[in-house]
Every structure is written in structure tokens, then in C-alpha cells.
Structure 1
């Protein structure tokens, strides 16, 4: 029983007229059909949500089972080998431990960042700490943070020396650039180019590599790269769970911007971030 329909007729005697009773019965049936439709739409929506949650859960478990287990297994093996290796080989083993620890740290950071951003989106807003930032400083900080993943790859920068201050969350935008640099290091080739330019009402950031470019299978649907647990090569031996670009899109969208991916004209993949901007405030005049 979905509900009870109660009638309070102004003229009760009219209910004795067969046509009136038939009309009321027809209206009651239409109301009942509408309520049933609403009910089953909700049931279908819940089923879709449950199916999507199950799909994401399976994708997460499948990715983590490999990409967390691999560095953990390597760390355990390297740590145990320190007991038997001669002292002159300890330095190389320690360097390998640091490399695997960085890989595990990057994976866990992406998982935590995605959870934080998703909880913010679910609540309606992502908590942004906007402030007027120097784009050059944020790009430089991102390159320094991505240095372990870059493994000595050359990174070239190009921007207008008169680039204005831009208002955004420096920590989150730095995270976007770090993820794009790590992605370029994984799937591209040197040199990696980072560009920044100010256009009318927008700031455009680009990260481009000189590798093979995006897979041919993604032609025309490049935006799927930014879906959670999606990777350019599904069976790639390159470690990762497909969260880095999803985090980039979540952060850029929270700033009201857009992110896109395409093959560069003369080879390689290029990712473009477009952020809205306004003119920075005039510096306050010193009071005499």
C-alpha cells in the first residue's frame, strides 16, 4: 500500500451518479500509476547506484591488490636482503627501498586525495583556500615535488615574464601539476614542457611530453582518461590505479575550470588546464 486516497465531496449525492464514480475511479487509477512510476524510478536509481558502487569497489580492489602489493613485496624483500648483503651493496639496496617507498606514498596520497575531494563534492563544495599566487612559484614547487618520479628527465618551462598573480588554491593546483608531470614521466618521453599563459579571463597551464602520445583507442573520447580507475592502457605494466587524472579533474572543476588531453601537433601528449581568473587587486598605497 503506497497510500490512501480520501475524498470529501462537496455534494455526496453526486457519487451515486455512475459517470461521476467512473471518473473518480479513473483519476484514482492515474494517481496510483504515477505513484508506482515514481517508486520504481527510485528503485531503478538505487540499483544503478549500487551497481556503480560495486563496479568502483571491484576496480579499486583489483588495482590496489596489484599496485600496493608490488611495492610492499619489494620493500619486504629488500629489507630482508640487507641482513645478507655485503656492506658495499647496502647503498644500492637502500636506494631501491626509497624508490619503492616513494611509489607507495604516491599511491596512498592519490587514494586519500580522491577520498577527500569526493567527500567534499558529495557535501556540495570542495574547501578551497584561494589566495593570490605566483604561477612561476607553484610550477617550480610542483617540479621539485615530482622529482623522484621524473628520474632525471629534463623539464622545460615557458611563460610570459609578465604573468600576473592568479587566485587559486596553491596546494591543490600544485597537486594537479605534480600528477600531470608524473603521468608524463610514466607514459611519455623527455623533454617535458610546462607552459603558462594568461588569456582574457583565464589562466592556461599546459604539460606536454614527447612520447608516443595518447592511445589510438582513445581518439574522440579523450575525456574518459579523467574517469576514476581509468588508464590509457588497461593492461599496462606501468604501476598506477588510474586516480591521478581523476584528481586533476576534481580539483580543476572545483576551481570552475576545465582540463583536456590531446595529442600534440608534432608528437607526444599534451594536457591543458584552463582556470578562470580576474585581475589582481591594486597594491594598497602606503599610508603616510
Structure 2
């Protein structure tokens, strides 16, 4: 300000302005000396650069500490998971054997007091078995997340059939829970093969289906849809449950984050985080959104590549003539097998 008694010089650093340097010259006549003003401007520039360097050093230190803490946590989780896995495996196996033996005792025709006692013990053994399996699943999630983030998992890319991946995922989820929901599968007959790790991509579908089964009330439909959009394969797992809390559509993919923080649904908040890590390792993306008709939809996008020809054209024509390649299918929850239908099932609009 030419008429002011003070000098106001902006501290312009390369990235942004860091502040203002105020100088009292003591004598207003000094403001008319060009050499003095150039000297002050040089000083202001050096001060701004120094402040910016201090800022970036602080940011680098914070980032380094965060990385070290993350590595320590992953190492701890991996160690604990390894140590817990062996006794949990033994516990699950023992509970299954006990439940099987007690079930055989309950099946005896004579209704004695011993049989009634065996029935009560069988119910308790089933509780132990279910809870041990749930705990083992949590430990597996912790171990898998630690492995994925440490780079210990190598992707085994190969051409995969989406229909086979969906079928394997359906067989892997809890059949008792799956039987409580009308299940819709929409897989085009000519859907292209995807190049992916079959085990890991199946894990993504299993986690998404498990998530839908956990938060969707019995009797409400859920399903899987596959589409081709441009150069991407779009796989969507949808449900008609309560949906996602508003504003938390992205947060649900963070580690130890759940849609409802105070939810009574069991889990540690790693299933969706594992899905994101696996999908991104394949060069894809995963997103969640609420549907206009209610419920949530989780969409996985994977890049498509030119797949090799797996069968002669004549075989494909014979399949088309016999009608063995349906455009849509429904799933028998009891058998977990895809069966053709005359018309595609009604499914809600997906984002």
C-alpha cells in the first residue's frame, strides 16, 4: 500500500500464499527507496519457501508415522490370525463331530430320557459350531486383509466364466439364509469371459452376497446381474433391504467400517474392504448406491479383454437351437444351481 506507514508483502511460496509479512520501516521516506523494497520482497520470498518446506516436512513425518503404524497393525493382525486359526479349526471340527454324533443319538426310535438329553446337547453343539464358524470367518477376513495389503497375494489371472463364478459363490454362502430369499440371477447367455483370479473374484461375490443376506429381512428378494457397458463388465449384487445410510455409500468400503455403527448384525467391517482391495488389484472399481425402489446395489466394474475362442461355431449354433443358453435364470436356493426360465425374473432398477 503506497500511502500506508507499513509494508505489506505477501509470502508467496511455489504452492500457495503462506501469509503476509508486515514491515514497519520507521521512516516513511524509506518506502521510496526501490532497492529497499526489492530486498524486502526477496526476504518475503525466502520466508515463504522456508515455511512451505517446514509444512511439507511435517506432512512427510505424519505420513511416515501413519505408514509405520499401518505396517505394525497389519503385522499384528497377521500374527494373531495365524495363531488363532489353528485352534479355531480344531474347535470347528470338534463341534461338527459332536453335533453329528448327537444327531445320530436323537434319531434313535426309542424316546428315552437319554434321547431327550442328547437333543438338548445337540442344540448346544450346533450353537458352538455356528459361533466357531463365525469367529473363524472373522479371523480369515483379518488374515486376508493383512495379506492383501502387504502384497503377499499374487493374482493368478485366467479366463473365467462369470456364470461359473456366480454359481460357486452361491454354493459358498449359508444355504439356510439363502433359502429365505427369492433369488434372481440375470446372466446373458453371450456374456464374455473375464480375465481374473477365480478364487479372489469368487471371494468378492461371496462377501457381497453375505452382506446382502445379513442386512436383508427374510422374504425380500436379492439377486445378481451381469451387463456389458462399453469396455467393462458390470457385475451387480442387489437387494431390497433397508439400504445404506445416506452419505455413507463410500465409507462402507473402509476397513472396520459398517453401514450401521451400532448394528446388532455380527461382523467386524472387513468384508467390503476386502472386496475393494481385490477389485482394484484387478484394475476395476467397486461402488455402492441405494436403489430408487429400495435396497442397496453393489456394482463391480472389471476391464474386458479379447478372450480366446473356446468352442467351435457349430457347437454354439446347436446350443442356440436347443435353447440351452437362457438369457436369464433363477436359482433354486436349496440346490444353488442355475435353471432356465421362460421369462427373465422381475428385478429392480439398478444404478
Is the 8 Å Cα contact of residues 164 and 280 (structure 1) preserved in structure 2? Answer: yes
Is the 8 Å Cα contact of residues 150 and 182 (structure 1) preserved in structure 2? Answer: no
Give the alignment partner of residue 65 of structure 2, picking from 50, 57, 61: 50
* TM-aligned CA deviation for residue 250 of structure 1: 0.7
Aligned partner of 2:263 in structure 1 is: 236
Alignment deviations for residues 4-44 of structure 1 (CA, whole Å, 9 cap, x no partner): xxxxxxxxxxxxxxx9xxx9xx89x94x9857854652333
Quote the Cα distance in structure 2 between the aligned partners of 1:139 and 1:37. 52
Query: Is 1:161 the counterpart of 2:189 in the alignment?
Result: yes
Is the 8 Å Cα contact of residues 150 and 181 (structure 1) preserved in structure 2? Answer: no
Query: Is 1:135 the counterpart of 2:162 in the alignment?
Result: yes
Distance 1:138 1:284, change over 3 A: closer
Query: Is 1:281 the counterpart of 2:308 in the alignment?
Result: yes
Secondary structure (helix, strand or coil) at the match of 1:86 reads helix
Aligned partner of 1:3 in structure 2 is: none
- Given the two structures, how large is their TM-score scaled by the length of structure 1? 0.70
- Given the two structures, how large is their TM-score scaled by the length of structure 2? 0.58
Structure 2 unaligned blocks of 5 or more: 1-34, 100-115, 313-351
Give the alignment partner of residue 107 of structure 1, picking from 106, 116, 138: 138
Aligned partner of 1:246 in structure 2 is: 273
More helix by share: 1
Task: Provide the alpha-carbon RMSD of the alignment.
Answer: 3.6
Larger Rg: 2
Aligned partner of 1:10 in structure 2 is: none
Quote the Cα distance in structure 2 between the aligned partners of 1:181 and 1:95. 23
Quote the Cα distance in structure 1 between the aligned partners of 2:164 and 2:228. 15
Quote the Cα distance in structure 2 between the aligned partners of 1:109 and 1:193. 25
Structure 1 unaligned blocks of 5 or more: 1-18
Higher relative contact order (CA 8 A, sep 6+): 1
Quote the Cα distance in structure 2 between the aligned partners of 1:165 and 1:199. 14
Aligned partner of 1:11 in structure 2 is: none
Quote the Cα distance in structure 2 between the aligned partners of 1:149 and 1:246. 25
Number of aligned residues: 236
Distance 1:99 1:169, change over 3 A: same
Is the 8 Å Cα contact of residues 153 and 185 (structure 1) preserved in structure 2? Answer: no
Aligned partner of 1:97 in structure 2 is: 128
Is the 8 Å Cα contact of residues 117 and 250 (structure 1) preserved in structure 2? Answer: yes
Quote the Cα distance in structure 1 between the aligned partners of 2:228 and 2:126. 41
Distance 1:203 1:95, change over 3 A: same
Quote the Cα distance in structure 1 between the aligned partners of 2:150 and 2:251. 21
Distance 1:284 1:266, change over 3 A: closer
Aligned partner of 1:146 in structure 2 is: 173
